[in-house]
């Protein structure tokens, strides 16, 4: 199962898993785009692709996906929690409803869907969850970065608690990826250096290798690994200024 599956990193995960011969369940808000993407994957790779339209900013949407994950007759062996978005603007400029919707999608949905998936996986003693976070988790930058920091901490803690169960959990922390993410949020990208952009398909390939290695956190590119090494040594107030100049959000989805 892949959430946020119609574009960007989610679509890249779906392409990779379908190419590997896995049947899929795709989750997103737009049913027409879901069905179009599902038909393309089925025709190209011969796999079964189910669709589940759901808005993970709503209680109904999260509950519908939880119910599918709890289906013992059609178990999910890999969950990719990729759904997410960014808000344009600094603190107090973004409406509170939008900030709360972000926490619903990035935190509550990830918690509940991971829990729903892992319950059955632990019983079967196999399975995996990839929670898509961001390198923004490691820099002080508003609600987006804070929510992604929660994803990383939650995933690492859950992975430790489930050690030896046969279930793997990993937080995926990309940097800037060429997707629809920034356009949807109305964010400009002209000030982002070319070297900072990643390809979604290459990113997914690296992430799948890290998951197979049993890593609980994946920063899937040498450039960002080096950058995050510098981040660990830099003063927090300096980091805030740098991230302001390089863009409001590091957007993975």
250 flagged as catalytic? no
Q: How many CB atoms lie within 10 A of CB 237?
A: 8
Eight-class DSSP state of 164:
T
**CA torsion, points 142, 233, 130, 247, in degrees to nearest 10?**
40
**Which residues fall within 8 angstroms of residue 235, CB to CB, at 6 or more apart?**
none
Cα(15)–Cα(38) distance, integer angstroms:
10
SS3 content of the chain, % helix, strand, coil (to 5): 55, 15, 35
Among residues 144, 154, 181, 250, the one annotated as catalytic is 144
Q: How many CB atoms lie within 10 A of CB 119?
A: 12
Q: How many CB atoms lie within 10 A of CB 56?
A: 27
Cα(92)–Cα(249) distance, integer angstroms:
16
Phi, psi at residue 52, to the nearest 5°?
A: -140, 95
Eight-class DSSP state of 28:
E
Give the CA radius of gyration of the chain: 17
Cα(128)–Cα(12) distance, integer angstroms:
17
**CA torsion, points 199, 202, 37, 133, in degrees to nearest 10?**
-80
Catalytic residue ranges: 144
């Amino acid at each position: 199962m892949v959430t946020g599956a119609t574009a960007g990193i989610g679509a890249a995960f779906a392409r990779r898993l379908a190419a590997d011969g896995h049947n899929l369940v795709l989750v997103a808000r737009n049913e027409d785009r879901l069905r179009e993407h599902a038909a393309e994957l089925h025709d190209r790779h011969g796999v079964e692709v189910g669709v589940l339209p759901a808005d993970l900013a709503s209680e109904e949407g999260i509950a519908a996906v939880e119910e599918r994950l709890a289906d013992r007759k059609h178990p999910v062996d890999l969950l990719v929690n990729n759904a997410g978005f960014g808000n344009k603007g600094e603190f107090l400029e973004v409406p509170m409803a939008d900030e709360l919707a972000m926490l619903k999608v990035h935190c509550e949905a990830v918690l509940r869907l991971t829990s729903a998936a892992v319950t059955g996986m632990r019983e079967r003693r196999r399975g995996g969850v990839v929670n898509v976070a961001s390198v923004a988790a490691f820099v002080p930058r508003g609600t987006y970065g804070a929510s992604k920091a929660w994803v990383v901490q939650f995933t690492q803690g859950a992975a430790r608690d489930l050690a030896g169960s046969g279930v793997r959990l990993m937080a995926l922390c990309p940097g800037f990826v060429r997707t629809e993410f920034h356009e949807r949020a109305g964010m400009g990208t002209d000030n982002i250096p070319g070297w900072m952009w990643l390809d979604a398909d290459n990113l997914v390939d690296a992430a799948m290798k890290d998951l197979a290695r049993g890593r609980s956190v994946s920063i899937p590119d040498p450039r960002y690994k080096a950058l995050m090494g510098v981040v660990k040594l830099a003063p927090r107030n300096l980091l805030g200024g740098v991230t302001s100049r390089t863009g409001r959000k590091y957007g993975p989805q």
